[in-house]
Amino acid sequence: MDIIKEIITQARQFEGENETDGQNRSPFIDKINIWMPLAELGDPYCMTGICYTLHLLEEQLFIKFDLPKHPGAIDFYELAKPKYKTHLFEIGNLVFWKFKTGPHGHVSIIIGEPDENGNFPAFEFNVVVGDEAGVFETVRNTKGDSDLDFYGLLNISTAWKAK
């Protein structure tokens, strides 16, 4: 089984979901925030969307991910076992970012290799593209941007086993 392909395909099924009922709100976003322990309606959903994606794969493929279940990106990264942390910007890995203005973070799924300038395609929940907030493919840079600093990487493709 190509778990990287499975993760990306599963996440992409939500592409185009957007915030239709105010900030961080829509029927889909509310559903995943209700599902996630420690999350509340209207909370950011970047990590929740990825956790929900992994949960669906667990049910469909009869596997179990050895990863935390936490709505906060930085907390999720810190709670993850060191053996899943990596320095490689590879397809399927999760990139964690820390906001320059506070203690919170964001997360992206790498869906393409970085180019010579460090730019790479990513897939994200809770991102703004153009004038829409929602679930979209984006382009990130390995060094971060004006709002986000690079924080860490997780190789989640090795963090599962058959049930």
User: Band of the pLDDT at 1, cuts 50, 70, 90?
Assistant: confident
- pLDDT value at residue 109: 98
- Domain 3-162 carries which CATH code? 3.90.1720.10
Predicted confidence (pLDDT) per residue in 117-139, tens digit: 999 999 999 999 999 999 999 99
Element (H, E) at 11: helix 3-12
Contacts of 49 (CB under 8 A, 6+ apart): 11, 14, 32, 125, 126, 135
Q: Which of 46, 48, 27, 52 lies closest to 38, judged by CA? A: 48
- pTM for the predicted model, two decimal places: 0.96
Residues 67-87 as b/e (b if ≥16 CB within 10 A, e otherwise) read: bebbbbbbbbbeebeeebeee
Residues 132-159: pLDDT tens digits? 999 999 999 999 999 999 999 999 999 9
**Residue 120 per-residue DSSP state:** E
Predicted confidence (pLDDT) per residue in 59-90, tens digit:
999 999 999 999 999 999 999 999 999 999 99
DSSP label at residue 18: B
Return the number of other C-beta atoms located less than 10 Å from residue 47's C-beta: 28
Q: What 3-state class would DSSP assign to 108? A: strand
Rg (the chain; Cα; Å): 15
